[in-house]
Amino acid sequence: MTTLVPLGAFIALSAALFFIGMAGVLVRRNAVVILMCVELMLNAANLALVAFSRRLGLIDERGSVFVVFVFVIAAAEVAVGLAIVLALYRNRPTVDVDEVREMKG
Amino acid sequence: MLPAEASRVADAIDLVWLIAILPLAAAVVNGVLGRRWLGKWTGGVATVALGISAALGVAVLFETIGLGHEAKRIVTLYEWIGVGDFHVPVAALVDPLSATMVTVVTVVSFLIHVYSNGYMAHDRGVHRFFTWLPLFVFFMLVLVLADNYVLMFVGWEGVGLCSYLLIGFWFERPEPYVAAKKAFVMNRIGDWGFTIGMILTFFTFGSVRFGEVFPKVAEVHGVDPTMLTVIALAFFLGATGKSAQLPLYSWLPDAMEGPTPVSALIHAATMVTAGVYLVARSTALFAAAGPALLVVAIVGAATAVFAATIAIVQFDIKRVMAYSTVSQLGYMFLALGVGAPIAAIFHLATHAFFKALLFLGSGSVIHATEEQDMRRMGGLRRKLPITYWTMLLAGGALAAIPPLAGFWSKDEIVGAAFTNGYPILSGIGVLTGLLTAFYVTRALYMTFHGEPRDHHLYEHAHESPAVMTIPLLLLAAGSVLAGVVLGFPPEGGFVHRFLEPAVAVEGAAQHAEPELVAILGLAATSVAAGLIGIVLGLAMYGRRRPDPAAVSRAAGPVYTLLRNKYYVDELYDHRFVELMRAAFGAAWAFDIHIIDGIVNRLGWVAGLVGGGIRRAQTGVVGNYALSIAAGLVLLIAVYGGYAMGVLRR
Amino acid sequence: MLDVIEPILFGVLALAIVGAAAGVVLADRVTTSALLMAFTFLNMAGMFVLLGAETIAAFQVLIYVGAITVLILYGVMFTPQAPRAYGLFFQKQTPAGALIAALAGLPVMVIAFAFRDTANIPPRGGDLVPLASSIFTDFAFPFEVASVLLLAAMVGAIVLVKREERGSGSAGPNDTTSPEHSRAKPVIGRARE
């Protein structure tokens, strides 16, 4: 008898991680930290994908394939996002998102 | 169509549209090239075009004579409007009536164009003059040739436009353009009547073509006679506007601000006769329209005597002629109203000749003396002989002295009024004849006879050049001969036989054939009235017995009333124009405050809403992320609701 | 024996993940956040192994811990800020933000527990071959597109951070880097405030 960790646990963990990341995006001021939290959210998604892919009983690798693509996207996104933050920092030496209000109105 | 007709070669009637297009072409050429290149030669271009048109017009007339009793042909160019049941072709109706009008218009226009080459030679705007004048002839010809009301209206409006352009020809001065505006606005009021008539005609008869409307009149009369009266009165309103009858007449005297050839052509011989032509053409309609004809007759007679009374106290030679025109047009409408359309057209034709001559002669005097006020003239017959003798003949024709043209036509009108049962109107006609003879004698005497009252003027006066006097001579010939040739014997002359099929009305009341005694008696009365007028004029102005100044003092208030033209202009200005100004002011205020106000308020509301929504754009990226997250919460709530059965899909 | 360990391993890893994630959000210094994030990634890799997706776990370590963490650390390095008081590094909207995250998260977590896996589960391990066959046959086109995407992101990132050369015109009044034009080296570790 194998006592497997139930699928729900994985999904709940994924949800917890996702919403912690979201809280971080909504709460922190530093733009780089926000980017980090976004990465956390992406990870949570990956976990959910893999869990469903492996545990739902279909011989289906599509979940994992999608995860590979999510890796790619996440990497690209971090690169570009940091480029933007750096350009912003160059313009005025701040990465505080509350201070950057040029788009007001 | 008879086989013989089908195989004939093209004749002048087929080319009838060319008569109208030639002046149009001249107008376009002069308009485009006149200012820079043609200059004075615009006159030549226009005159040549008009000459060819006149020749063609006479050819068409002869052919129409040759067509015999059922004389009527329609020459179609193309279908202009074809919408459902509403068809308006550009087509010419060639019948005796229109052929007569075409001849009068083109021949008189041609002579006036010749004259204008001399009269307008030194004017700065001569190229403009010879653009608008042939354009006017074009529109007049469209009006006269049209075979349906809509095309006629095109010509109707067009002549109104050209009249405006030509009255205001010397627009650097304020009086001409004010007069032009007045003419156009008053015409417009009449045009409104014409339009209503046109619309009602279409709805009642299902067509606007003469050939389709008039045969149906009897049928409609059985069904809805009041509609016929309404239509007739609406058209008559248009005629009063265009032909300067009461109450829309006061533009015509003011129109004398335009150059004299314009006054001669437009305001004597052609445009103002358009109203007469309209009613004559619609004889079938009017005959069945009950009281409409009586209205026409009364208005005509009233206008005739009204205008004549004003003419007797005017000092400007052109104004005398203008009121005379209004008065003579009244005669024509009187004729139409008493059921003698042929007499009306006959008088139209003779009047065109002698009135144009009177105007052109006045123009000659003005050209010679640079003056229009007769009080400063006098004794000019020695200096301007040709002008004098031709004007004398024309004046005699106007006063209806036999055997000049005016006698035959005017006498026929007065006679017809009497024999057709309108003795009062006939009497008014006779009285007006007396006044007419008086004022024309007065005018001619003051201008040409007696001692010159302004010697400087007199010294510099000179006879006009041949280009101006030859048309005078030709018109004088017409004034003398036209009456006898065309209208003798009365009621049985050539013109009567010729025009009869065009204005005949089926089933119209046959008027009693007047007896010879009656005819002669009436003729004698008219002549007597004319002679009395002449004698009175000569006595007052020649021998000063009674002295005119004394008479006017004695007649005090009456004289002032006449002198000020019955204060009609002031009345119109005070009543109507002020009313219109108030209406305009109200409309403007409405536009500014309410219409613009609504738009401005809407804009303000949009701004307000925008300002409110704008507060969501904080520019802080975190806030935007928060709103995304909030949306997510909403979604979760909704799906949770579905899942739990709280919300239905 | 493996069966007994699995739930324990899961528990440990889960706690580590959640704890580290919370640490990322709440840590004092940026660097701390970054390193905790890396720690999260490592534990995630372990989670993948637990699920039997070893290839994915390998990728996770390579990409996330290896590349993305380094990128983030570079970002931290190039954007030095003066240290702030703890309270000051939360956004103004923090109460609202925290509330919404909780509102969204708690129900979802609760519902998430309801998922059950099916009866027959493929054996653990050996996920490389199926994954590779899928990618290079069924999903070859998205794979190529993904490489183009990476290329585009790379070019974009370079363009975004490129410094203007001296005299080539687009230095505006906000450009605080003009004294550095002569030097190509980036600014390191200087507190600017």
What pLDDT digit, counting tens, does each position of C102-138 carry? 888 888 888 888 777 766 666 666 778 888 888 899 8
Residue from B455, B185, B457, B437 nearest B320 by CA: B437
Find out whether B413 and B344 touch, Cβ atoms under 8 Å: yes
Cross-strand partners of B82: B87
Contacts of B200 (CB under 8 A, 6+ apart): B227, B230, B231, B234
What pLDDT digit, counting tens, does each position of B377-428 carry? 877 888 888 888 889 889 888 888 887 878 888 888 888 888 888 888 888 8
pLDDT at B530 over 70: yes
Its pTM stands at: 0.67
Q: Tell me C165's DSSP state.
A: P
Domain A7-97, CATH: 1.10.287.3510
Residue from B235, B237, B234, B257 nearest B247 by CA: B237
pLDDT at A103 over 80: no
Q: Which two tokens mark B381? A: 């017959």
Counting one residue from chain B and one from chain C, the pairs whose CB atoms sit within 8 A come to: 27
Counting one residue from chain A and one from chain C, the pairs whose CB atoms sit within 8 A come to: 272
pLDDT at A44: 96
Flag whether residue A70 sits within 8 Å of chain C, measured between CB atoms.
no
pLDDT at C45 over 70: yes
Flag whether residue B646 sits within 8 Å of chain C, measured between CB atoms.
no
Q: Which of B622, B633, B640 sits opposite C93 (nearest CB)?
A: B622
pLDDT at A34: 92
Cα A60 from Cα B512, distance rounded (Å) = 116
Judged by CB atoms within 8 Å, which residues 19-48 of A form the interface with C?
19-24, 26-33, 35-37, 39-40, 43, 46-47
Find out whether B343 and B413 touch, Cβ atoms under 8 Å: yes
What pLDDT digit, counting tens, does each position of B324-372 carry? 999 999 999 999 988 888 888 889 988 998 899 999 999 988 888 887 8
Q: Do C4 and A3 touch (CB under 8 A)?
A: yes
What pLDDT digit, counting tens, does each position of B590-612 carry? 888 888 889 999 999 999 999 88
Q: What is the pLDDT of chain B when averaged over all its residues? A: 84
What average pLDDT does range B541-548 have in this prediction?
A: 72
What average pLDDT does range A19-26 have in this prediction?
A: 92
pLDDT at A41 over 90: yes
% of chain A surpassing 70 pLDDT: 92
pLDDT at A105 over 80: no
pLDDT at B616 over 90: no
User: What is the amino acid identity at position B607?
Assistant: G
pLDDT at A81: 93
Report how far apart, in Å, the C-alpha atoms of A70 and of each of A44, A47, C112 are.
11, 11, 22
Residue from B232, B83, B73 nearest B149 by CA: B232
pLDDT at C11 over 60: yes
% of chain B surpassing 70 pLDDT: 94
Which of B77-81, B188-192, B202-206, B642-646 is predicted with the least confidence, judged by mean pLDDT? B642-646
What pLDDT digit, counting tens, does each position of B504-528 carry? 665 444 555 667 777 778 888 888 8
Cα C121 from Cα B382, distance rounded (Å) = 136
Q: Do A89 and C63 touch (CB under 8 A)?
A: no
Report how far apart, in Å, the C-alpha atoms of B616 and of each of B147, B416, B624, B629, C43 are.
71, 91, 9, 15, 40
Judged by CB atoms within 8 Å, which residues 72-101 of A form the interface with C?
72-80, 82-87, 89-98
% of chain C surpassing 70 pLDDT: 75
Find out whether B243 and B275 touch, Cβ atoms under 8 Å: yes
Q: Which chains touch A (3 or more CB pairs under 8 A)?
A: B, C
pLDDT at C185 over 50: no
Q: How confident is the model at residue B113 (pLDDT cuts 50, 70, 90)?
A: very high
Helices vs. strands in chain C: H and E counts, helices first: 7, 0
Buried b (16+ CB within 10 A) or exposed e, B102-111: bbbbbbbbbb
Flag whether residue B632 sits within 8 Å of chain C, measured between CB atoms.
yes
pLDDT at C168: 46
pLDDT at C38: 96
What average pLDDT does range B318-327 have in this prediction?
A: 91
pLDDT at C179: 47
Residue from C63, C78, B632 nearest A25 by CA: B632
What pLDDT digit, counting tens, does each position of B118-170 carry? 888 888 888 889 999 999 999 999 999 998 999 999 999 999 999 999 999 98
Q: Is B286 exposed, middle or buried (0-12, 13-18, 19+ CB in 10 A)?
A: buried
Q: Which residue has the tokens 């002011």?
A: B585
pLDDT at A3: 58
Which of B90-99, B621-630, C110-119, C151-160 is predicted with the least confidence, judged by mean pLDDT? C110-119
pLDDT at A40 over 90: yes
pLDDT at C49 over 50: yes
Q: Do B629 and C100 touch (CB under 8 A)?
A: yes
Residue from B620, B623, B626, B627 whose CB has the most chain A CBs within 10 Å, to mutate: B620
pLDDT at B490: 62
Which of B179-183, B224-228, B549-553 is predicted with the least confidence, judged by mean pLDDT? B549-553
User: What is the amino acid identity at position B261?
Assistant: P
Cα A89 from Cα A99, distance rounded (Å) = 12
Show me where the domains of chain A are located.
7-97
Residue B172: helix, strand or coil by DSSP?
Answer: coil
Q: Is A31 or B71 the better-scoring residue by pLDDT? A: A31
The ipTM value here is 0.90
pLDDT at B540 over 50: yes
What pLDDT digit, counting tens, does each position of B30-48 carry? 988 888 887 778 888 899 9
What pLDDT digit, counting tens, does each position of B192-250 carry? 999 999 999 998 888 888 888 888 887 877 777 888 889 999 999 999 988 888 888 88
